[in-house]
Amino acid sequence: MRRRVIALVAVLLVVASAVWYGHAPPRSAQAYQSRAEETAEALRSQARAAELWVRAAAAGTVTRQAATVAIEDAESDARATASRFDRWDPPPELASTRTELTSTGAELVETLTRLRVATHERRWEDLPEVAGGLGPLADRLTGDLTALRRGLR
């Protein structure tokens, strides 16, 4: 019985530390840069996923309900990702990284919001036009990610 309690406490400590690490602010320039890379990667993925769902909905290969849920999820995920990164204070040498990434994140969230609203208003024919900004945003995030990985930002 005692071993089970000890094992349970150990598991709880590991889980708590993993949750803390995932949400704790980065404490060094290297940690901040790593979080910026993760953020750019996640935002790019959300933009590309929404783009795929719009194409699939336009082609009629998925149901409109599935596309609506996927777009809602992409918006929610992008909003949470951008918001979490925005709350972290960068080291002085990475202030421009924060500015650029939060700006791009805000643009992505705005585009996904317009896309979600269009699905809720059943303006399916407008989705490709509304989603037109997703590709350039994803490309910009790819450039940001490349620059971050090369240490240029």
Residue 11 has a CB neighbour count (10 Å cut-off) of 10
Gap between the Cα atoms of 40 and 34, Å rounded: 10
**Tally of structural domains, the chain:** 1
Residue 83 has a CB neighbour count (10 Å cut-off) of 13
Closest C-alpha to 70, from 80, 56, 89, 60: 56
Instruction: Determine whether 39 is exposed, middle or buried from the number of CB atoms within 10 Å of its CB (0-12, 13-18, 19+).
Output: buried
State which residues form the domain around 55.
2-149
pTM, two decimal places: 0.80
pLDDT in tens, the chain (153 residues): 766 656 555 555 555 444 444 456 677 889 999 999 999 999 999 999 999 999 999 999 999 999 999 999 999 999 999 999 999 999 999 999 999 999 999 999 999 999 999 999 999 999 999 999 999 999 999 998 898 888 765
Question: Which structure tokens are listed for 4?
Answer: 């089970």
